[in-house]
Chain A
Amino acid sequence: MKITGYLSEFSLGEIFRFLAQGQKTGCLTIKPVDTRDEIASEYHTFFHHGNIVASTISLDHQELQRLIAKRGWLRIPTIQKIAQLCSPRATLGLCLKTQGALDGEQLKLLFKQQVLTPIPQLFSIEEGWFEFDANHPLPYEEMTGLTASPMEIALAGLRLLRDWTPLLDKLPLPSSTVIRLIHGELPYHLNQGEYQVWEHIDGTLSIEQIATHLEQLVLDVQKICFRFMVIGMVEEVAGITAVEPLIANHEPEMDTLPVSEISHSFLHGLLTFLKGKKNAT
C-alpha cells in the first residue's frame, strides 16, 4: 500500500495521527519543496506498528553507524564486525548493546539525536510531497531498538511551530465545538495554556466561546484544539453558523415534515425497484 500527497493537503500532524491510529508499518518519505540550505532534500521516518523507530535523510543504511562514530564511541569497521554476530533482523542498537559495545544511555542519546530532536522540526516545513510505503522493509541497521509515539512528537512539533500560515485552513472552525475523546487520566503532559482550554472543552462551547471565556485570541484556541485533534484527544463537530438561510421558493418545506418509521413493504418495494435499475443498465 502506498499513499501520496502534499503537506498542504494533508498536514504532517494528520499523517502522524493516521499512521499511529492505523498502527502502520513502513516508511514515510517527505520531500520538502523548500530549498533552504538547512533543509535536506528528503526525510525518511520509519514506523513499526504505529510507532516511530528510526529517522534518516538517506537510504544508505549507514546513518546510525556514522552517528556512533562521530561521537567517538566505536569505529565504523568495528560496528560492522559486531553486527555480523547478530541476527539480520536484530536492530543495530540492541545488537551493540547485547554485545556490550554500547549501553542503554548511549542508545537513548542516539535516539534523541536521530528521532526526538529532528522530527519535530519537520513540522516547520511549509510545503512538501509525502509518500507512505507500507511495503518498505524496516532498516534494522538504522534502528536503536527504541520507539517514540508519533502523537507525542507531533505535539512537540506543533508546539515549536512559529509560522502557522500553511495550517490555517486546517484549523477547526471558530464556530465549531470540540468534544473530548479521552476521559479520565490525560495521556500527554499539557502546558498551562493547553490545560486551560482542555478544562473548557465540554462539548457545548464553541471555540469562539472558549476564547472569550479565557480572554484569548480565537486563533490561539484554534491552534491548541488542532493540536488536541492531531493527538486524538478531541473531535471537531461543525457548529451552526448564524448566516441567514438562502432557501429558494420552490424547494420543499422540509422543516414542517415529521420523521416517521418506514414500513417493511416500502423498503421491500424500494429495494426491488433499485435492483431493477441496477440490472436495467
Chain B
Amino acid sequence: MEIMRIVVTGPVGAGKSSFIRTISEIEAVDTDRKATDETAALKTKTTVAMDFGRLQFGQNVALHLYGTPGQERFDFMWDILIRKAHAFVLLVSSHRPQDFRSARRILAFMRHRAKIPMLIGLSHADNPAAWPMEEIMLALGYLSPHNRPPTVPVNALETTSVANALAALIEAYARDQMAELNRLNKDALI
C-alpha cells in the first residue's frame, strides 16, 4: 500500500478539523473535547490529540491526513506528525490577526523540524475584517514575494475548496521532487 501523509496544522479555530472531515472518505477520527481554557471563548470543543482522515483513490493508494492539536501545549504531537509527513498545510484565519503570531510560531517549528513542501491555506478570506493575502504573508514573516510557499484561500467546509488546496499542495510536492531529481542528475553529471 502506498500512502502519502499530509499534516494539517494551524492555530485554534483555523478550520483544521473541518478541512479533514470535508475531504475524508471515512468518518474522521475526531478527538475533539470540551474546551476548558481560553479556547472556550472561540469554540466549545477543541482537538486534544489529532484528527485523522483518509482518501483512498485507487487500489493500494491512499492519502492520509493528520490534524495537529489546536492547543499549543500539545505541541509534542507536532513533532511526531511532522517527522513522518510528506507535506503540510498551514491553515490561518484571515480575519484574526491575533492568530498570526501563533501561526508564525507553528510555521517556524514545522520548517525547523522538516524540509518538506507546504501550502498556506487562508480561511475566512471573505470576512469583511479579513486581511489581504499579501499582508498576511508579511505578518507570517515572508518578506519577499518571490520566496513564498503556494497560498490559496480555503473554505474548509467546501469539498471543492479543500480539493483545490490539496491539489495545489500535491503540485508543489511534485515540483519539489522534480527539482531534487534535476539536482541529483546534475550532480551525477559532474
Interface residues of A (CB under 8 A from B): 1, 3-5, 8-10, 14, 18, 21-22, 170, 172-173, 176, 179, 235-243, 245-248, 250-252, 254-255, 257-259, 261-264, 266-267, 269-271, 273-275, 277-278, 280-281
Give A272's nearest chain B residue, CB to CB.
B57
Least Cβ–Cβ distance between B151 and chain A, in angstroms: 16
* Chain B residues, CB < 8 A from A262: 2, 4, 86, 173, 177
CA distance A266 to B57 in the complex (A): 9
A241–B135 touching, CB < 8 Å: no
B171–A278 touching, CB < 8 Å: no
* Chain A residues, CB < 8 A from B139: 10, 14, 18
Give A172's nearest chain B residue, CB to CB.
B105
Of B23, B77, B109, B166, which contacts A237 at CB under 8 A? B109
* Chain B residues, CB < 8 A from A280: 159
Interface size of B by Cβ–Cβ distance < 8 Å?
64
A9–B98 touching, CB < 8 Å: yes
Least Cβ–Cβ distance between A177 and chain B, in angstroms: 9
Give A236's nearest chain B residue, CB to CB.
B105
- Interface: B126 (CB within 8 A): no
CA distance A66 to B66 in the complex (A): 62
- Given A14-B101, A251-B52, A278-B160, the answer on whether A263 and B170 have CB atoms closer than 8 Å is no
* Chain A residues, CB < 8 A from B40: none
- Interface: B106 (CB within 8 A): yes
CA distance A231 to B75 in the complex (A): 26
A243–B76 touching, CB < 8 Å: yes
B61–A270 touching, CB < 8 Å: yes
Give B165's nearest chain A residue, CB to CB.
A274
Known pairs A235-B104, A271-B167, A273-B57; list 12 more (Cβ under 8 Å).
A5-B129, A10-B100, A14-B101, A21-B138, A22-B135, A179-B108, A237-B108, A243-B76, A252-B52, A257-B5, A262-B173, A273-B58
- Interface: B118 (CB within 8 A): no
A263–B29 touching, CB < 8 Å: no
Of A172, A240, A275, which contacts B75 at CB under 8 A? A240
A261–B177 touching, CB < 8 Å: yes
